[in-house]
Chains A and B, each alone.
Chain A
Amino acid sequence: MAETLLRVEGLRTYFYTWAGVVKAVDGVSLHVDKGETLGIVGESGSGKTVTALSIMRIVPAPGKIIEGKIEFQRKNLLAESEEEMRKLRGREIGYIFQDPTSTLDPVYTVGEQLSEVLVRHQNLDKKSAMDRAVELLRIVEIPDPEIRINQYPHQLSGGTKQRIAIARAICARRDYSGADP
């Protein structure tokens, strides 16, 4: 029997806007087993993104998670402290945005943005983090990673940016070996 990595039960996330309450997620339950990939399909505006954000608990205001249970690594994520959640985000749970153009900060280089995640989660110093970042670019198959590492988001194509977003999401994984071609 496959081990369940993530289980969501009865999730409700509402947005309290000036126009009234928007029930973005109203009773969603799902589970993802180890080795499984779960695809959630829906029209735009049906709450797919909000569900994902709710799991990570980064739903922007005026949204609030009203009720539900999210089981991950034998913890109820909705009961965890913010500090605990921060440890999970980026490391155990990653998120990649739909739109690559705006997912990177325009005033910092790609290398700076990747390495800051590494520094945060793996306690590396700047230099090692940068080296690792170059490795990561190579892994997501971006050509000339040494050059790209010092470039700014606006200099890169959408596809490249998306790969970098992927790299950023997976870079801090605890079980990440780093030598994987």
Chain B
Amino acid sequence: MASLSSRPRKRRGSGVSQWELAWRRLKMNKAALAGLVIVGVIGVMALLDRLIALYPPNCNVGTNPNCPNPGPKPDVWAIGIPPSWSFPFGTNLAGQDVYSQIVYGARAAFLVGIGATAIALAIATLIGLVAGYFGGWVDNVLMRLTEVVLVLPFFLILLVFLRILFTLSPGASGGLLVIILVIGAFSWPGPARIIRGEVLRVREFEYIVASRQIGASGFRILFRHLFPNTLHIIIVLSTLQIAGSILTEAAVSFLGFGDPNSITWGRQLADASEAVKQAWWAGLAPGIFITLLVMGFNLLGNGLRDALDPRLRE
């Protein structure tokens, strides 16, 4: 007698978790995949920096004969020369290999992007959840605070802060940390409001009301129910915030308020802009890379938003 289970059958009722569903939807979104690829490639570049760069960081290959040179040796005075085999993106006017500088700058871009976002979204999530769930005077106070910070001109305050901090400790290392902290410290109000809005929406869901009635404590509900349900919005906000933070750092560095000791694309753009007529390729590379990375995170963020949208659940 043939066995009933001779043919493997799908277990009835085996559902797919919402994350798997979202991942599948994301995979079908070509733009989002492109974004993921871009971020991934540049991320790998950032991780392997010393391995794939041609020259040491900040090494003025063209002028400094003592610059330890693991790569092919240039045989001419290599300041501000256009792209060639020894220098894939050319050299800038300080004699640095643009390609290598770009590779080193990738790390700063990710550090600033992810670091500032981590800080900003951590604060935003906390405030959003607490304000949205507890309501009442807690909500009032927190929203008032949010408005005060939100109303301040973000970019201008950033400039002031950075200038003060860098003036007080000019030569110190950790300038990048300062930038990360400052951007993070002022970027949280927008996301906080959105997260709070989402909490307000989710909190009326039946199972949450039911948990309350069973007598679950506030904090338990907060962490076990509300937080996972706002996670999708937090993820999307985070990716978009990363994109924004990278652009902010670029703008800030361009104006000269960034960290003079770190290698960042923003600073490379700023340096190159002073001598753009003689060596425009030195500005093209950082500009393109900033655009690419920001675009990558934007595509990813939009794709995640579509994939995680709770209203589109089949």
A interface residues with partner B (beta carbon < 8 Å): 18-19
CA distance A165 to B199 in the complex (A): 33
**In the complex, what distance in Å separates the CA atom of A65 from the CA atom of B97?**
60
A-chain residues with CB within 8 Å of residue B28 when the two chains form the complex: 18-19
Which A residues lie within 8 Å of B25 (CB)? 18
In the docked arrangement, what's the CA distance between A43 and B259, Å?
Answer: 63
B13 CB to closest chain A CB (Å) equals 17
Query: How close is A21's CB to chain B, nearest CB, in angstroms?
Result: 14
Which B5-39 residues sit within 8 Å CB-CB of chain A?
Answer: 25, 28-29
Contacts of A19 in B (CB 8 A): 28, 314
User: What is the bound-complex CA distance between A110 and B28, given in angstroms?
Assistant: 41
Bound-complex Cα distance A18 to B314 (A): 12
Complex A-B: 5 CB contacts under 8 Å: A18-B25, A18-B28, A18-B29, A19-B28, A19-B314
A-side contacts of B314, CB under 8 Å: 19
B314 → A minimal CB distance (Å): 8
**Chain B residues within 8 Å of A, Cβ to Cβ:** 25, 28-29, 314
Chain A residues lying within 8 Å of B29, measured Cβ to Cβ, are 18
Q: Which chain B residue shows the least CB distance to A22? A: B314
- Shortest CB-to-CB span from B229 to chain A, Å, is 23
**Complex CA distance for A19 and B28, rounded to whole angstroms:** 8
Closest 5 CB pairs of A and B: A18-B28, A19-B28, A18-B25, A19-B314, A18-B29
Minimum CB distance partner of A18 in chain B? B28
Residues of chain B lying within 8 A (CB to CB) of residue A18: 25, 28-29
- B171 shortest CB reach to chain A, Å: 55
The smallest C-beta distance from B193 to any residue of chain A, in angstroms, reads 23
CA gap between A18 and B29 in the complex, in Å: 9
Cα–Cα, bound, A19→B314 (Å): 11
Find the A residue at minimum CB distance from B314. Answer: A19
CB distance from A112 to the nearest CB of B (A): 28
| Cα-based distance from A59 to B235 in the complex (angstroms) | 34
Give the distance to chain A from B192, nearest Cβ to Cβ, in Å.
Answer: 28
Give min CB distance, A174 to chain B, whole Å. Answer: 39
The answer for the CA separation of A141 and B125 in the assembled complex, in Å, is: 49
Chain B nearest CB from A17 CB (Å) reads 10
Q: How far is the CA of A18 from the CA of B25 in the complex (A)?
A: 8
How many whole Å from B18's CB to the nearest CB in chain A? Answer: 15
Q: In the complex, how many angstroms separate the beta carbon of B51 from the nearest chain A beta carbon?
A: 39
Closest to B24 in A: A19
Q: CA separation between A18 and B312, bound complex, in Å?
A: 13
Q: Output the least CB separation between A60 and chain B (Å).
A: 14
Nearest CB of chain A from residue B20's CB, rounded to whole Å = 13
Tell me the bound Cα distance from A18 to B26 in angstroms: 11
Please give the distance in Å from A149's CB to the nearest CB on chain B. Answer: 32
- Name the distance in Å between B104's Cβ and chain A's nearest Cβ: 40
**How close is A102's CB to chain B, nearest CB, in angstroms?**
13
Q: State A18–B28 Cα separation when bound (angstroms).
A: 7
The docked-state distance in angstroms from the alpha carbon of A54 to that of B28 is 28
Cβ-closest chain B residue relative to A45: B314
Q: In the docked arrangement, what's the CA distance between A127 and B314, Å?
A: 45
Q: Tell me the complex Cα distance, A98–B248, Å.
A: 48
Q: Nearest A residue to B28 by beta-carbon distance?
A: A18
> A62 to nearest B CB, angstroms?
13
Tell me the smallest distance from the CB of B311 to a CB of chain A, in Å: 13
| Nearest-Cβ distance from residue B298 to partner chain A, whole angstroms | 21
